[in-house]
Amino acid sequence: MKRNMYGIFGVALFMAVGCQMPDQKLQQQMIGKPAPDFELTALDGKKVRLSSYRGKPVMLTFWGHG
């Protein structure tokens, strides 16, 4: 179940941020800051928030097809 959650978080973050890399000034402003909170519906239908994992390691996986 945890592996599915990590994949879901990765997809959501990719969709939220988009395919474009932010400019260098924005990147520097983001370093050391917490990721923005968001909520997703897991495959089992339960709602999951990124903030519920605060203080725990979260691995984000970015993938796509072309």
Core vs surface per residue 30-48: b (16+ CB within 10 A) or e: eeeeeeeeeebeeeeeeeb
Check residue 47 and give its pLDDT.
94
Domain ranges across the chain: 2-53
Question: Residue 61: how many CA atoms within 13 Å on its side-chain side?
Answer: 9
pLDDT digits (tens, 9 = 90+) for 1-51: 556 666 666 666 666 555 555 578 877 888 888 888 888 888 899 998 989
Q: CA-to-CA distance for 14 and 64, rounded, in angstroms?
A: 10
Structure tokens at 61: 């996986």
Number of Cβ atoms within 10 Å of the Cβ of 50: 19
**What's the whole-model pTM score?**
0.46
